[in-house]
Amino acid sequence: MTESDWPASLADFELEELDQYLRAHPGDARLLLDGVHGLLTSLAIGPSPAMPEEWLPEILHEPFADAEEGERILTLLARLNDSVLLEIETGSYEPILGEIDTDDGSTAFTSRGWCEGFSRGIDLRAAAWESRLGQDSDLMQYLGPIIALSIEDEVFESDAEFAALTDEEYGECLARIPDSIDAVATYWREHPASADEQVARPEGEPAPAPRKRGGRWVH
């Protein structure tokens, strides 16, 4: 693929358009833009590719208003997926994060939405992830920053007790997400899942209910 053949990343106004669409269709089971980015990232670096027919139901839950709206939103989602794949391939990946209001009236980055989406992607390939995480400590280590953020933001539950991250530690984990994504993508390329591990979630089985969150997209 030459540089001229690379799919163009979404412009800010297109990200805003997709964000506004997702916000206009709220609900506990819905992902916002940061969550969609996390979902697509997880599938892009995971044990086996996922077709749109698998991940679109995680994002879209209502009929479109008309054919024009449907074509536009599906196009934006397809391009967002392409841009995630390209950024990972070229080593230029950056997560889309949300922002939350802090007690002092300022704003801060949050990975909660992105991590929620990332966990949904793992759910779609749960057999391979669970099998490999149970036997290979390297994969767990590569996921370290994402796991730490997910526990801090109450996306993942853990039986073990973990001290809360300081603001500095939280920021360090956010900064390490791109390296973590690159390491995990390399891991699955070099150690592909076996046929027995590549078992998708049974058709019709719902994803675990996500936790409530707030925030807005920031790239």
Does pLDDT of 125 surpass 80? yes
Q: What is the mean pLDDT of residues 165-189?
A: 97
| 2 within domain boundaries | no
Q: State mean pLDDT over 97-108.
A: 88
The reported pLDDT for the residue numbered 162 is 79
| Alpha-carbon distances of 20 from 17, 26, 41, 111, 118, rounded to whole Å | 5, 10, 21, 19, 21
pLDDT, position 212 = 37
The residue-averaged pLDDT of 150-172 equals 87
| Residue 150 in this model has a pLDDT that exceeds 70 | yes
Closest CA to 77 of 113, 49, 37, 44: 37
pLDDT in tens, 10-65: 999 999 999 999 999 876 668 999 999 999 999 999 999 999 999 999 999 889 99
Tell whether 1 is covered by a domain.
no
Q: Let me know if residue 3 belongs to a domain.
A: no
- Percent above pLDDT 90 for the chain: 72
> Is residue 123 very low, low, confident or very high in pLDDT (cuts 50, 70, 90)?
very high
Look at residue 120 and tell me if it is in a domain: yes
Residues 6+ apart with CB under 8 A from 78: 52
Q: What pLDDT, on the 0 to 100 scale, is given for residue 205? A: 56
Confidence class for position 202, pLDDT limits 50, 70, 90: low
Domain that holds residue 172: 9-218
What is the average per-residue pLDDT within 193-211?
A: 61
Residue 109 lies inside a defined structural domain of this protein: yes
6 contacts: CB under 8 Å, gap ≥ 6: 86
> Considering only 81-90, 103-112, 164-173, 177-186, which range has the smallest mean pLDDT?
103-112
pLDDT computed for residue 29 by the predictor = 63
CATH code at 160?
Answer: 1.20.120
147-185 burial, b at 16+ Cβ within 10 Å, e below that, comes to bbbbbbbebbeeeeeeeebeeeebeebbebbbebbebbb
Does a structural domain hold residue 80? yes
pLDDT in tens, 81-93: 999 999 999 999 9
Predicted local confidence at residue 42, as pLDDT: 98
Amino acid 130: pLDDT: 94
| Number of domains composing the chain | 1
195 falls within a domain: yes
Q: What is the pLDDT of residue 201?
A: 52
Q: Answer yes or no: is 59 within a domain.
A: yes
